[in-house]
Chains A and B, each alone.
Chain A
Amino acid sequence: MLEDSLFFPMALSLLAWTAGAALHRRFRTALCSPLLIAVLLTMAVLWGLDVPYESYYRGAQPLHWLLTPATICLALPLWENAARLRRHWKAVLAGIAAGMAAALTGIWAMSHACGLSYGAYATLLPKSITAAIGMDVSAGLGGDVSLTAAAIILTGILGNMFAELWSRLFHLRDPVARGVAIGSSAHAIGTAKAAEMGETEGAASSLAMVVTGLFTVAAVPFFAGLFIGG
């Protein structure tokens, strides 16, 4: 019954989200992120009722289907705030470039430090960019595509959860700087949070996400060649 229900997956998704949002309003801590709570609740219910992920995903497809149209809409705040971003274009581009360099060299250094294989390195390298790009990049390098998707989503959830806390920690007072930090580190899932924080945050984050995604495609083959060992 649950496995081929037309409505169970959507009902579960929306109610899990509602519960997450309610907990977030109640406790206001980074750990009570609506997305994290909804993910954990949904997993727990599926696991408890022995419903495989595939049949849940089939039913929850309408949400996933809306992802592309909704992401495209980020162009609106981007356009509305374009003047402000253009005024600081050097700072914005430098921030995005520095974030990209930190992502790629950081993964390079930590993969070697943890003694990971080339396959694992290739899997993690595209983890800061939006999933649709990152999975293709990973496949091109010989990484594990489904694991790259998991790493990308986890990265996004972390950025989504900690965007406000980390902004305070790094003393990011300007909404543009906050947006660049979120979009560079946590792609679209982070950007969803940035858009909640404010229009300017959302705009800067969207821009950082697009630029990081496109330039990572160009830079990653070079970094893949830098791996030492097997």
Chain B
Amino acid sequence: MKFISQFGVILALSFLGEVLHRWIPLPVPASIYGIVLLFLGLHFHWISAARIRDAARFLIEILPLLFLPAAVGLMDSWETVRVDWAAYAVIIAVSTFLVFGVSGVVTERLMKRDKEGGEDA
């Protein structure tokens, strides 16, 4: 029964996210509103972490699997990209690699400086 009530809370938040998505004319999906809502709920103690923890852990654990149905949809894109596929593939791969490196290295360097600065001060 614990799981049912925890999952119920998570679904209620999903529904609230859906309502915001419909009402606010911005390209922000229900899931993003939902993350913000749950974060605020936890922060202001409207929802205790224990109220959702087990179901949330389970859902996060299976999250990669949940992308499978959408990802299999790549099989229908082949016809559209047949001409330019090499350019697309190179741009997608290089850009993903580049963004990963730039954001990671900038964060790591600045954090190191934070820590060193903190020790000096």
Contact = CB atoms under 8 A, between A and B. Distances in A.
Interface of A: 9, 13-14, 16-17, 34-35, 38-39, 42-43, 46-47, 53, 56-57, 60-61, 63-64, 66-80, 82, 87-88, 90-92, 94-96, 98-99, 101-103, 106-107, 110-111, 114, 116, 120, 124, 127-128, 130-133, 136-137, 140, 144, 146-147, 149-151, 153-160, 162-163, 166-167, 169-174, 176-178, 180-182, 184-186, 188-189, 191-193, 195-196, 202, 206, 208, 210, 213-214, 217
A68 B16 CA distance: 12
Contacts of B75: 43, 46-47, 53
23 contacts: A13-B65, A13-B69, A35-B67, A57-B72, A60-B72, A69-B10, A70-B63, A72-B10, A73-B56, A76-B42, A76-B52, A90-B110, A110-B94, A111-B91, A132-B31, A132-B32, A159-B100, A177-B111, A180-B107, A181-B99, A181-B100, A181-B107, A210-B36
Contact of A79 (B17, B39, B62, B104): B39
Given A76-B53, A147-B77, A195-B63, 10 more contacts: A42-B72, A43-B74, A64-B69, A76-B56, A91-B111, A101-B102, A116-B84, A184-B103, A185-B97, A210-B32
Interface string B24-66: 0011111110111111001100000100110111011111111
Contacts of A210: 32, 35-36
Contacts of B93: 158
B4 interface: no
Contact of B92 (A16, A66, A124, A192): A124
Contact of A91 (B74, B80, B107): B107
B113 to A, nearest CB: 8
A189 B77 contact: no
A166 B70 contact: no
A39 B68 contact: yes
A226 to B, nearest CB: 16
A71 B80 contact: no
B22 to A, nearest CB: 13
Nearest to B76: A53
A88 B88 contact: no
B69 A74 contact: no
A110 B84 CA distance: 13
A70 B107 contact: no
A99 B99 CA distance: 5
B52 A149 contact: no
B104 A63 contact: no
B18 to A, nearest CB: 8
Contact of B60 (A34, A61, A74): A74
Contact of A186 (B59, B96, B101): B96
A174 B111 contact: yes
Nearest to B101: A170
Nearest to B105: A170
B11 A128 contact: no
